[in-house]
Structure 1
């Protein structure tokens, strides 16, 4: 009989407004379903929304997503710790897989149950970038006391941490010295379309930004970098939900003052299944983020065969050597402006070369035979 893994996560498909963590969990359950009985306990309402998903039956276990994947959507309107514990007890999982670190009911509460001896399952915690300084700087007043209590109660001695790269492992050990930590690369979307290009003329560049509209994604920085490109026609498409309204207002003011050679359009949030064809209509993906644990939208750009312009605060480094894009420091906008100008200068042959470099970078990653084995070690 297969052992059971219970995934706890605040948001799951068909949700998409919480960004990468949803996609990470979807990719995880599909990757593990052959080796384990997989259960997902989540809520029936998307991030930032008040109305439940349409077409989803909440309050019972279903396998509508896939016959081998069981999902329980807890009604958000009546969500309590007791309801979470009730379903955890019903599953009796061998392993409980917690995502992020600061979710009151889907991380903190299960850890409390483990501390009190009321949860016998082995616990695997994936912080998903929550311990990076860029993430901790947001609502630090709330997170710092929790981390202190986590250490004081020695909870880190009762769990296995899943780090998705060495940088995250270092962050975990910095906050929780002596913890057990295993590295398993984030599981990406494995479905790569055939390579395809679009027309590219020197002097024009179509750019796309896909992310939640929050300060750490650094849209304003990108706009400032674009403003300094004077020798080309730039078009920027922005996709993502607005989560920080004051920050978005600041971006809107900048957008209204952009020079005549630059146009910007905002398409709002889009479902994951809508992104690929939109990505493929652009020349360059841009995301000067202050920190990413993985960056699913970055990887989607690679899958689409589109070079990227990103910061050096992600796992995707050394991109110019592969002609897959640029990973640049954030000290000033100058390097980003120069990269934008260089991309705008591409002729068709130049764009095709960098586009294929990005596509091949994704192809090599998804064909890595060690990816699946890394996850099996987490639940061994």
Structure 2
């Protein structure tokens, strides 16, 4: 019988305030552990921007969680950048105890340094870029990223055993800085939420059961397309189309942008039919996904869109842009509506979907069928284990 794989998952933070990447590492680690893999997650106690308190967790010791271990390390120095010298010291000493490292994030100092240590210790590693190689994302702080890539990330990409993309579209468009890489396309999984009684979120938030509920549940970030969504909803409101908009999310790294969006809505006619909840989790999150008539995410770029997959699993039809990289799956399975990143195109999609309850229900069912089959953690863990074993066989 072969020995269990010993896998490191390395990520700057697994606080849920950082959204999809944190959820993914927890879900993957639990699913891998359930299939006999020994998983250790290395991360920091970062829990949002500098003004937030760090996670209240034991440091520098193993914490058992859902069948795997987490080791949290103090963010120090450079807390803003989720950096930890203690984490890197531990990795330097213990790297040889593991078969492979799966590193989540590029252009993040702790992930960059972890890849360099893995190389030095001859520990094979996979890099998951989290959308940071998307040309649109590379435009942000472009010159700084070019220098950063030239100094560090180009070497990390060149020596990686594979680059983990979560959709074929993400792999297709991603920048490699002239490096030939082995691309591994493995989608993200979704843990089905325990659903409260139908109508719970409407009761909590005071939303009529007869009003279509339109949900945006994602990080409040410029890339998520709110500057398309707000004017589109204002147009529909002016046409007399009835709906209630729930804006659920936060931005731990750019609270100024979050405040700007909040103020924009407060001074808009949209304010009368909008509820701003901030970050949601647990029962309220599940209730919103279940009660929503439409989930909307018109992002300018999105390497996967875990929130979209969560909505699909909940049976909620989605309206997304064609820059959310699972748009082809949504379109081909009729799980929702797909539009260009443009106000009029988004308005048209929303108008069509809000005016046809039967079609919404039909597309919600189609999306749920597809997501339960293709985004289950068990299936993704099996695919990931196969990739790990192939990489390790190639090393010998």
Provide TM-score, normalisation by structure 2: 0.83
Q: Note the C-alpha offset of 1:11.
A: 1.1
Q: Residues of 2 paired with 1:254 and 1:169: CA distance?
A: 35
Q: Does structure 1 residue 292 correspond to structure 2 residue 302?
A: yes
Q: Which residue is 1:108 aligned to?
A: 112
The 5-angstrom pairing of residues 130-149 of structure 1 reads: 130-149=132-151
**Equivalent pairs, count:** 370
Q: Which residue is 2:42 aligned to?
A: 41
Q: Does structure 1 residue 17 correspond to structure 2 residue 26?
A: no
**Contact 2:44 2:72 (8 Å CA) reproduced:** yes
**Contact 2:31 2:377 (8 Å CA) reproduced:** no
> Cα deviation per residue 1:238-275 (whole Å; 9 max; x = unaligned)?
11113434433442343134337961121111235641
Q: Residues of 2 paired with 1:154 and 1:44: CA distance?
A: 25
Q: Residues of 1 paired with 2:375 and 2:286: CA distance?
A: 17
Q: Residues of 2 paired with 1:222 and 1:173: CA distance?
A: 28
Q: Note the C-alpha offset of 1:135.
A: 1.8
Q: Does structure 1 residue 283 correspond to structure 2 residue 309?
A: no
Gaps of 5+ in 2: 78-82, 390-396
Q: Which residue is 2:189 aligned to?
A: 187
**Contact 2:24 2:189 (8 Å CA) reproduced:** yes
Moved more, 44-53 or 256-265: 256-265
Question: Over aligned residues, Cα RMSD in angstroms?
Answer: 3.0
Q: Residues of 2 paired with 1:245 and 1:73: CA distance?
A: 25
> Cα–Cα, structure 1 residues 246 and 44, in superposed 2: closer, same or farther, change >3 Å?
closer
**Contact 1:183 1:374 (8 Å CA) reproduced:** no
- Counterpart of 2:101 in 1: which secondary structure? strand
Moved more, 249-258 or 365-374: 365-374
Name the structure where helix makes up a greater proportion of residues: 2
Q: Which residue is 1:210 aligned to?
A: 217
- Counterpart of 2:269 in 1: which secondary structure? coil
Q: Which residue is 2:335 aligned to?
A: 324
Provide TM-score, normalisation by structure 1: 0.86
Gaps of 5+ in 1: none
Moved more, 284-293 or 336-345: 336-345
Query: Structure 1 runs of 4+ off > 6 angstroms?
Result: 194-203
Q: Residues of 2 paired with 1:350 and 1:196: CA distance?
A: 20
**Contact 1:97 1:123 (8 Å CA) reproduced:** yes
The 5-angstrom pairing of residues 239-278 of structure 1 reads: 239-242=248-251, 243-259=253-269, 263-271=273-281, 274-278=284-288
**Contact 1:201 1:346 (8 Å CA) reproduced:** no
Moved more, 134-143 or 285-294: 134-143
- Counterpart of 2:262 in 1: which secondary structure? helix
Q: Does structure 1 residue 222 correspond to structure 2 residue 229?
A: yes
